[in-house]
Amino acid sequence: MSKLTPSVLKLFFMAFIAVVAIAGCTKKDEPSGNAPQLPPKETMALPNFDKFPSGKTDETQGLSHFYAAAGVGIWNTILAINLVLPVAAFAESFNHTPFYKDGAWNWAYAVNVNNVIHLANLQAIDNGTTIEWKMLISKQGEYSDLVWFTGTSAKDGKNGSWTLMKDPVSNIPYIGIEWTKENDKIGNIKFSNLIPGDPGKDSYIHAGLTADTQYNAFYTIFTKNDNNMANIEWNTLSANGRIKSPATFNDTNWHCWDWTLADIICPN
């Protein structure tokens, strides 16, 4: 693969910004208000809550925590490998100032992922009560302004959703994300498999925080292939927790671990 020289890259990027930004000086291109608030970066990442997973995750550390950490780890791996570019492209938008054109706010910039330059244009349209988002991505010599993901967020920034494509060329839905924000943190977030025809379609992982004093954080993992619902709960301060997973343990009981992550008899 040929590499772009700094001078060529600079010209390429400047041309891209110019094409996107040029607009006639008409009232149509005058915004009625300020640019909408960007959804938090954390809305595209599975949260790694305090104290979980932590320490070793091999079976010598306790089967209960091992299986809980393994289930979460599978989803972490899937998301980390397949969402590198869209997540990086979205995160970069926070470093740029938007401009208004043809009824939409635009964040246009270059983003380098794995030494490959992509040109991104994040667009936002204010629909009154919600903000509609769309990420257009371009790669020199391969594709231009293809949709990588779309989304919706409330104007107050407290909730929203994303639909990420498997890649910009195929335009096949891949991961759906639903999120809510509480104070300055993501309170709940859910990642779902949206791939049409995939045996695991509709599988999901749901993570969040609660007001419960014994177990104040959770992961719920549904696996469509074996129709299994795994419930994981733990305390973010003490690190003790529990898991219920019929397909894993062949029962519907809770299986618990203590602050050292060792198996224990579950407290009442």
Q: Where are the domains of the chain?
A: 50-264
Residue ranges of E strands in 155-184: 159-165, 173-182
Q: What is the tens place of the pLDDT at every residue in 25-50? A: 444 567 778 899 999 999 998 887 76
The confidence band for 217, taking pLDDT boundaries of 50, 70 and 90, is very high
Identify the pLDDT of residue 161.
98
pLDDT at 254 over 80: yes
Mean pLDDT of 216-223: 96
Average pLDDT, the chain: 86
Identify the pLDDT of residue 185.
77
Segment (H or E) for 15: helix 6-21
Instruction: Answer with the residue of higher pLDDT: 14 or 226.
Output: 226
Is residue 111 a contact partner of residue 117, using CB atoms and an 8 Å limit?
yes
How many other C-beta atoms lie within 10 A of the C-beta of residue 107?
A: 23
How many other C-beta atoms lie within 10 A of the C-beta of residue 202?
A: 13
Mean pLDDT of 67-71: 92
pLDDT at 110 over 70: yes
What CA–CA distance (Å, rounded) separates 103 from 1? Answer: 38
What CA–CA distance (Å, rounded) separates 42 from 134? Answer: 17
Dihedral-angle region of residue 145 (phi above 0 means left; psi in -120 to 50 means alpha; beta otherwise):
left
Identify the pLDDT of residue 24.
39
Is residue 190 a contact partner of residue 206, using CB atoms and an 8 Å limit?
yes
Mean pLDDT of 229-235: 96
pLDDT at 54 over 80: no
The confidence band for 193, taking pLDDT boundaries of 50, 70 and 90, is very high
